[in-house]
Structure 1
Amino acid sequence: MQEHPLQRFFTAHRPRPTFEWERHQQRDVLIIDHPRCQAVFSRQGAQLLHFQPRGQRPWLWCAAQWPQVGAIRGGVPVCWPWYGRHPSEDLWPSHGWARLLDWKLIDSSEDAEGVTLTWRLQLCDWQVDLQARLGDGMELQLRTEHQDSLPCQLSHALLAYWRISDVSKIALSGLEGAEGYDQLSRQTCRQKGELKVQGGCQRVFQKAATLQLHDPAWKRQLCIDMGDSEDTVVWHPGSRPLMGVSGSETLGFVCVEATSGHNDSLSLAPGEQAHLRLQAHLFN
């Protein structure tokens, strides 16, 4: 397993401030170096690309090479204000505008336990905030406020690429008995026992799950909590190629996503808010 491509920021033999901006692959990135954890955010998409509690392996996967323009593959992309393809505009980008636009960092602070950041994107009649709390664990909260005078439709997701030893050797528990839809076979499914991601996987489970990601090779178990999201999505491309990502790289991640409005868009009244949360910690 290769070193995480963003760990390079933490090998310099000089003290770093807790928060420091740098330029990497034509993007502005915020480097976070705290006694409890190290992390990297991209201003584009307010995307958490790297997170590593002290003394542990990195929790998030990120592609080594980024496209000159467009979405960065890896970390936790914010899919907003739609998830997947737009329901009516075929030429609009998959997973919405949020991961393609620069967000504003409106607050960053630290304490003995970790760091807290708040990112904001103002787009048309929406205001969307992403709050991150990073320390021994990680928590991301997405809040959308609808500021127009008419109702609107929304779907959103926190799409996390979890870094693992080898996709053929890990398992996910916590979905036993869950009903869902297998988008590869295009039929309903019911999960029996642990979910092992082999040969590709794209399943949408109709519940907000709390999963355990078991990685025996790394002797690590992560607890991943989807909060009160409508759906839990598990995805891996299998042998299908991903643009800009080598085949060996794809072995090192599995996606577990918190989504809402995927099948039936959320309807927000003027002034109404929508929330989404993704949280992870070591499972003891």
Structure 2
Amino acid sequence: MLPARPRRWSGVATTRPGAAAEHPLAGLFLSSAGPALRWVTHQERELLLIEHPRFQAIFSRQGGQLLHFQPRGQHPWLWCASHWPRGGAIRGGVPVCWPWFGRHPSESGWPSHGWARLSDWHLLGSELDEQGVYLTWQLQLCDWTVTLEVELGEQMKLRLRTSHQDSEACQLSQALHAYWRVSDVARVALLGLDGAAGRDLLARAECRQQGELRIEDGCHRIFRRGALVQVQDLAWQRRLLVDTRGGANSVVWHPGSRPLTDVSWREALGFVCVEAASCGADSLILKPGEEAVLQLQARLA
């Protein structure tokens, strides 16, 4: 059972100053300088560590998932849980929710958010230059092929490309489900969604955002437009611009006081999810020969 929360839901009672800036995977870089790209095993997963003069980053082969991105001299941009379930999806970074978002529309026993998070991806190629790193990951599932193109440098750019070889049109919903690292979610403001209409899944009602969005005790809203969302974190004196305009929807999620498996409430104070998605009523119908593209980008304001 989780400990009782303070009466005011905030991160005031968190651990020692500066602890929020630490990342559970940062210690993997301390063993040796090593090559710019190298594989290690951690919690039974194969991880690709990236050392670049501009940043550090970590990918998991399972899920083709970016788990950590930290430009030099800055706080980490992404949050990741310290403990991962054996064989299950890794919570944190940027999970690829594909080829469906949420529950499968007809198969109740299939995993939430699709097979991509649970599958091993193939690293097709990697390039490095003084500006950054460029990676291409791919997963083939039955008649479907999905490719993740990554650019890391001063900015973070992810592009998901999907095609299929089925003879009939197929339905596709997807998301780049980013967990952004913050000092304290209760003190963070999200700007850029003013006037956006959507659905509040916690209230089970339609909603329209007015002004800035703050997380009081949980949030799960799917806005029916992409947006340039500013994650304003005054404690860290950081304004991170998250561009979800590469999808039909902007999703904002945080569990609030609802417990997450293997994640303490203190740990959960350190993230907010702002995602690019095409889901629900905005799911895609992909005809044979067509390609679907979903993009997510981030940079400092």
The question of a shared fold, defined as TM-score above 0.5 by the shorter chain, is answered with yes
8 Å Cα contact 1:156-1:262 kept in structure 2 = no
1:4 aligned residue: 23
What SS does structure 1 have at the residue aligned with 2:78?
Answer: coil
CA distance in 2 between counterparts of 1:110 and 1:135 reads 10
What's the % identity of the aligned pairs?
61
Q: Which runs of 5+ in 1 are unaligned?
A: none
Deviates more, 1:257-266 or 1:143-152: 257-266
What SS does structure 1 have at the residue aligned with 2:46?
Answer: strand
TM alignment of 1:235-246, pairs within 5 A: 235-246=253-264
CA distance in 1 between counterparts of 2:282 and 2:265 reads 34
CA distance in 2 between counterparts of 1:32 and 1:176 reads 37
CA distance in 2 between counterparts of 1:71 and 1:15 reads 29
CA distance in 2 between counterparts of 1:121 and 1:82 reads 15
1:121 aligned residue: 139
Query: Alpha-carbon deviation of 1:264?
Result: 4.4
Aligned with residue 115 of structure 2, among 84, 88, 97: 97
Does residue 263 of structure 1 match 2:281?
yes
CA distance in 2 between counterparts of 1:122 and 1:186 reads 35
TM alignment of 1:162-241, pairs within 5 A: 162-241=180-259
2:59 aligned residue: 41
Question: Which amino acid in structure 2 is aligned with residue 114 of structure 1?
Answer: G
What SS does structure 1 have at the residue aligned with 2:163?
Answer: strand
Question: Which amino acid in structure 2 is aligned with residue 93 of structure 1?
Answer: P
Question: Which amino acid in structure 2 is aligned with residue 69 of structure 1?
Answer: G
Query: Alpha-carbon deviation of 1:69?
Result: 1.2
1:20-43 CA deviation, whole Å, 9 max, x = no partner?
000000000000000011000000
1:19 aligned residue: 37
8 Å Cα contact 1:209-1:232 kept in structure 2 = yes
1:122-174 CA deviation, whole Å, 9 max, x = no partner?
11111100011001110000000111211111100000000000011000000
Aligned with residue 88 of structure 2, among 30, 51, 70: 70
TM-score (norm 1): 0.98
CA distance in 2 between counterparts of 1:253 and 1:16 reads 30
CA distance in 2 between counterparts of 1:98 and 1:18 reads 26
CA distance in 2 between counterparts of 1:188 and 1:146 reads 33
Question: Which amino acid in structure 2 is aligned with residue 72 of structure 1?
Answer: I
- After TM superposition, the runs of 4+ consecutive aligned structure 1 residues lying more than 4 A away are none
CA distance in 1 between counterparts of 2:282 and 2:181 reads 30
Root-mean-square deviation over aligned CA pairs = 0.9
1:168-194 CA deviation, whole Å, 9 max, x = no partner?
100000001111111111111111110
CA distance in 2 between counterparts of 1:228 and 1:122 reads 22
CA distance in 2 between counterparts of 1:263 and 1:58 reads 34
CA distance in 2 between counterparts of 1:260 and 1:188 reads 17
Q: Which runs of 5+ in 2 are unaligned?
A: 1-18
CA distance in 1 between counterparts of 2:77 and 2:30 reads 18
Aligned length: 282
What SS does structure 1 have at the residue aligned with 2:235?
Answer: helix
CA distance in 2 between counterparts of 1:40 and 1:161 reads 14
TM-score (norm 2): 0.92
1:84 aligned residue: 102
